[in-house]
């Protein structure tokens, strides 16, 4: 059968655009349908605008530091509408870049909602198209627990477009997004509470990292409340919100921000017309080649969750991150149109950062994971006051930690909490991916004076 396209991509986010562009460069006829915004969550309501807001929030501390270096930074003020307007202008610029990337690659862009008709047919804006292969890359969507008053809460989608900065904010959740937005609101001057139903946020991160960040956030004035949750939200006569907690106590705030999880965005794309298997959490099940239970339909990114199919190069869970979706999009393009260049993705050493204030970055195993895997360990850890703060009254400490296999001397993981953690960890990730031993780190000359040199000057184990 002759098809209109060799590949039809549903979703013009990071993964979908990468798959489409690479497939087109391999000579395939490609179309992409997008009904919301070019660039997906990351560009529009995710990592890019969030990082811009993190930069904005950091200025409060920068002004405080400036006095120690002889600068007078009194009478400073912050204007939320200016920040949001400038952010919006930058996002529009990026939207157009994504449009240009697709069009100059020879990809046909269809701006409308795509719906599966069958395993090879889609409908967009009332017109039907056929494709030999279909890729679902529609991403995720934030969700709020089903409690009375849930409609009064906001998520990350709405936070980027608030007309004004709330005076008081209650952030609910314990993952990346929760700690990042709590840092943002707190840094911009809002009275901020971070509430999490568990014992401590960032489950799955190294214990030293979690505890260190808790202490640093408290020093920054963030109100942390653990083992608590919301049972109800109500609007009061003065417009503020009355929040009833699970212990019966009340809390007043101006904004409730939920960051308690995301779901796969598969609404109304015609899954009822094709027998695509989903897992218990509603994510699309895929094999090692990202193929769904329908052979002509593939899926990547946030719609496939964290599980990894048998046959992949790693037994570790995948991460729902933009660079992961990019790699998966490239992988699908190669599987379909240049199979000789395809290599299975290794999910075991994915570096990541949490842009809280201070930043977190990590690569490889945590101490807890390494012990669980049976490794005999040497643990190296350093906590120090960064040089930049020595002339100030601020006493925020940086944490660096290295997990080493005692038998092979191989570095299993590195973790950092402190300024520019993500920038530093990217290079560390290359070394660990290449199989560097602790001896290699020890023999590497540091760049002085920098925080990064601490990773090559860790000498005395603090634990085994």
- Residue 88, domain CATH: 3.50.50.60
Same domain, 114 and 159: no
pTM for this model (two decimals): 0.95
Using DSSP's 3-state secondary structure scheme, residue 85 falls into helix
Out of 341, 376, 393, a domain closes at 341
The CA angle 382-388-394, to the nearest 5 degrees, is: 85
* Confidence grade of residue 73 (pLDDT, cut at 50, 70, 90): confident
Question: CA dihedral in degrees (228, 162, 320, 374; nearest 10)?
Answer: -40
Residue 463 lies in a domain: no
- Domain boundary among the residues 341, 370, 394 is at 341
Please check whether residues 119 and 17 belong to one and the same domain. Answer: yes
Question: Does some domain include residue 70?
Answer: yes
pLDDT tens digits, 427-453: 999 999 999 999 999 999 999 999 999
The number of helix segments (H) and strand segments (E) in the chain equals: 11, 21
* Together in a domain, 13 and 134: yes
* Nearest-angstrom CA–CA distance, 102 and 193: 42
Per-residue pLDDT at 261 exceeds 50 = yes
Question: Structure tokens of 118?
Answer: 């069958």
- Asked if residue 197 lies in contact with residue 225, where contact means CB atoms within 8 angstroms, the answer is no
Tell me the catalytic residues. 448
Question: How confident is residue 75, by pLDDT bands cut at 50, 70 and 90?
Answer: confident
Per the CB < 8 A criterion, the answer to whether 65 and 389 are in contact is yes
Q: Computed over its alpha carbons, how large is the radius of gyration of the chain? A: 24
Residue that terminates a domain, selected from 203, 236, 260: 260
Same domain, yes or no: 128 and 39: yes
| Band of residue 312 on the pLDDT scale cut at 50, 70, 90 | low
Is pLDDT at 315 greater than 50 in this prediction?
no
The reported pLDDT for the residue numbered 318 is 82
Structural domain count of the chain: 3
Each residue of 206-238: pLDDT tens digit? 999 999 999 999 999 999 999 999 999 999 999
Q: What pLDDT does residue 154 have?
A: 98
Q: What's the whole-number mean pLDDT along residues 269-294?
A: 96
Mean confidence (pLDDT) of the chain: 95
Q: Tell me the β-bridge partners of 354.
A: 360
Residue 168 and residue 211 in one domain: yes
Does 291 reside within a domain? yes
CATH number for the domain spanning 371: value is 3.30.390.30
With respect to residue 461, please indicate whether it lies within any of the assigned structural domains.
no
Q: Are residues 98 and 47 in the same domain?
A: yes
Structural domain harbouring 295 = 5-142+263-341
Please provide the DSSP assignment of 284-313 as one string: BP--TTSB-SSTTEEE-GGGG-S---TTSS
Give the single-character DSSP code of 419: T
Interatomic CA distance for residues 103 and 206, integer angstroms = 43
Q: Which residues contact 127 (CB under 8 A, 6 or more apart)?
A: none
Q: What would the two tokens of residue 193 be?
A: 């509470």
Q: Are strands 121-124 and 114-118 parallel, antiparallel or unpaired?
A: antiparallel
Residue 92 placed within a domain:
yes
pLDDT (tens digit per residue) in 136-164: 999 999 999 999 999 999 999 999 999 99
User: Same structural domain for residues 134 and 96?
Assistant: yes
Same domain membership, residue 130 and residue 11: yes
Under 8 Å between Cβ of 256 and 172: yes
């Amino acid at each position: 059968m002759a098809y209109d396209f060799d590949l039809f991509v549903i979703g013009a986010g990071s993964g979908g655009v990468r798959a489409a562009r690479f497939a087109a460069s391999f000579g395939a006829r490609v179309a992409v349908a997008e009904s919301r915004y070019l660039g997906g969550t990351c560009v529009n309501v995710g990592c890019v605008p969030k990082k811009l807001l993190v930069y904005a929030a950091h200025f409060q501390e920068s002004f405080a530091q400036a006095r120690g270096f002889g600068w007078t930074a009194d009478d400073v003020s912050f204007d939320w509408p200016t920040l949001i307007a400038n952010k919006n202008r930058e996002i529009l610029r990026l939207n157009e870049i994504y449009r240009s990337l697709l069009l100059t690659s020879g990809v046909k862009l269809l701006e409308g909602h795509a719906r599966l008709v069958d395993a090879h047919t889609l409908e967009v804006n009332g017109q039907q198209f056929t494709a030999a292969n279909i890729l679902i890359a529609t991403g995720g969507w934030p969700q709020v627990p089903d409690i009375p008053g849930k409609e009064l809460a906001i998520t990350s989608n709405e936070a980027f477009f608030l007309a004004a900065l709330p005076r008081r904010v209650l952030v609910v959740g314990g993952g990346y997004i929760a700690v990042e937005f709590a840092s943002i609101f707190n840094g911009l001057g809002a009275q901020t509470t971070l509430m999490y139903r568990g014992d401590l946020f960032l489950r799955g991160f190294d214990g030293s990292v979690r505890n260190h960040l808790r202490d640093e956030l408290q020093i920054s004035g963030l109100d942390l409340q653990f083992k608590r949750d919301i049972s109800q939200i109500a609007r009061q006569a003065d417009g503020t919100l009355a929040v009833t907690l699970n212990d019966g106590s009340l809390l007043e705030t101006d904004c409730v921000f939920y960051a308690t999880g995301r779901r796969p965005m598969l609404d109304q794309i015609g899954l009822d017309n094709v027998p695509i298997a989903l897992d218990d959490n509603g994510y699309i099940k895929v094999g090692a080649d990202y193929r769904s239970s329908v052979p002509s339909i593939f899926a990547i990114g946030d719609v496939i969750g964290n599980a990894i199919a048998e046959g992949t190069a790693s037994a570790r869970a995948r991460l729902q991150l933009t660079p992961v979706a990019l790699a998966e999009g490239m992988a699908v393009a190669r599987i379909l149109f240049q199979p000789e260049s395809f290599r299975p993705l290794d999910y075991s050493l994915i570096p990541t950062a949490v842009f809280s204030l201070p930043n977190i970055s990590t690569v490889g195993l945590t101490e807890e994971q390494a012990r669980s895997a049976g490794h005999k360990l040497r643990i190296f850890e350093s906590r120090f006051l960064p040089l930049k703060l020595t002339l100030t009254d601020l006493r925020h400490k940086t944490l660096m930690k290295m997990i080493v296999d005692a038998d092979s001397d191989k570095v299993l993981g590195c973790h950092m909490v402190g300024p520019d953690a993500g920038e530093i960890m990217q290079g560390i990730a290359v070394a660990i991916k290449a199989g560097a031993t602790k001896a290699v780190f020890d023999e590497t000359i540091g760049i002085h004076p920098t925080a990064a040199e601490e990773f090559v000057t860790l000498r005395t184990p603090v634990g085994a």
